[in-house]
Amino acid sequence: EKGKKMGTCSSRSSVSEADVDFEGLAVARQRLSSLALEERDMDMTQPLAKYFISSSHNTYLQGDQVQSESTPLAVARALRLGVRVVELDVWDSPTGVVVTHGGTFTSKCAFAAFVKAIRDHAFVASEYPVIVTLENHCKLKGQQAMAATLRRVFKDKLFVPSEEETSLTMTPANLKGKILIRDKIRGGKKRPNPRDDDQEEEEDDDEEDEEHEDARRKRLG
Beta bridge partners of 133: 87, 182
SS3 letters across the chain: CCCCECCCCCCCCCCCHHHCCHHHHHHHHHHHHHHHHHHHHCCCCCCHHHCCCCECCCCCECCCCCCCCECHHHHHHHHHCCCCEEEEEEECCCCCCEECCCCCCCECEEHHHHHHHHHHHCCCCCCCCEEEEEEECCCHHHHHHHHHHHHHHHHHHECCCCCCCCCCCCCCCCCCCCEEEEEEECCCCCCCCHHHHHHHHHHHHHHHHHHHHHHHHHHHC
121 flagged as catalytic: no
137 flagged as catalytic: no
**Separation of alpha carbons 71 and 74, rounded Å:** 6
**Separation of alpha carbons 102 and 137, rounded Å:** 9
Cβ-contact 124, 132 below 8 angstroms = no
Q: Active site residue: 57, 121, 137, 212, which one? A: 57
Q: Show which residues are catalytic.
A: 57, 101
